[in-house]
Amino acid sequence: TQLLEQSPQFLSIQEGENLTVYCNSSSVFSSLQWYRQEPGEGPVLLVTVVTGGEVKKLKRLTFQFGDARKDSSLHITAAQPGDTGLYLCAGVSSGAGSYQLTFGKGTKLSVIP
């Protein structure tokens, strides 16, 4: 069974602070995705990382993929209240006509004004 562990589970910070969320996998997936989910809505894809060592930036968000493609991190610089939400990492398993996401349990982020 492929597992994804996220840490921390909860994070409450002041506006303007930096934070890092971690995602560690027990095995290698085809790729790894990060999502953000707000209450009452479905997850929204932020980024897909594929190559070991890859770094992607999305405004104040920086995503890193470990060299072994089993760990990833999401770093937010100068967090804002609009960053509040549930951050999920997901391993993509695809091939032979099938597609499946395995999700971590998420990090619930609260950014206090």
Q: Which residue ranges make up the site for another protein (CB under 8 A)?
A: 30-31, 33, 40-45, 48, 88, 90, 92, 94, 97-106
Please, what is the minimum distance in Å from the beta carbon of residue 106 to another protein?
6
Task: CB nearer to another protein: give 85 or 104.
Answer: 104
| Residue whose entry in the numeric block shows the structure tokens 């890092």 | 20
Please, what is the minimum distance in Å from the beta carbon of residue 61 to another protein?
17
Task: CB nearer to another protein: give 13 or 86.
Answer: 86
Task: CB nearer to another protein: give 12 or 80.
Answer: 12
Please, what is the minimum distance in Å from the beta carbon of residue 46 to another protein?
11
| Residue whose entry in the numeric block shows the structure tokens 């303007």 | 16
Task: CB nearer to another protein: give 73 or 103.
Answer: 103
Report d(CA 105, CA 77) in Å as an integer.
23
